[in-house]
Amino acid sequence: MLTDTMSPLPALSLILVLVLSATAVGLVVLARSGRASHRTDGDRLSSAALGTTTPLGRSATLVQFSTEFCAQCPGTRRLLHELADGEAGVGVLDVDLTHRPDLADRFSVLQTPTVLLLDRAGIVRGRFSGVARRAVLAGELRSVLGRPA
């Protein structure tokens, strides 16, 4: 009777390829998290479109999409309020998507936190997916406010 014995080399090679692929994907996602995606498509938003009655800021608005279960959202919310408190006329809106999947679909939110930066007219000027870096977000906010970075 013949017995098939498989060499462990192909199995180990496959495992190594899978681990390296997963690591590469993770590094790409991590590198892109919190970076600004510039938007100039003229998409104008209102408080009503965001599902809230809170008015937009006079100079700019930081909109955070979050959920009840988001571990990083409270820290991002604090960061947004700190930045807004340092600039006159900048408002912060927190949109909880937990019970509003329609808003998640409308704004293509794939992860929380996601932050939109709106100018004084409510036009989306920046989008940050994942945890936003303070320096990047502050620089983008200054740019929207017409201040030097």
pLDDT band, very low/low/confident/very high, at 17 (cuts 50, 70, 90):
confident
Q: Which residue in 25, 33, 81 sits closest to 57, CA to CA?
A: 81
* pLDDT given for residue 38 in this prediction: 53
pLDDT band per the 50, 70, 90 thresholds, residue 8: confident
Q: Sorting pLDDT into bands at 50, 70 and 90, what band is 48?
A: very high
Domain-wise residue ranges, the chain: 34-144
pLDDT of residue 1: 53
Using the predicted structure, report yes or no on whether residue 107 has a pLDDT greater than 60: yes
Tell me the whole-structure pTM to 2 decimals. 0.74
Structural contact between residues 127 and 36, judged by C-beta atoms closer than 8 angstroms: yes
pLDDT for the residue 53 = 92
Assigned CATH class of 34-144: alpha beta
C-beta separation of 87 from 60 below 8 A: yes
For residue 93, CA distances in Å to 6, 7, 17, 81, 137 come to 59, 59, 44, 10, 15
Distance CA(55)–CA(131), nearest Å, equals 24
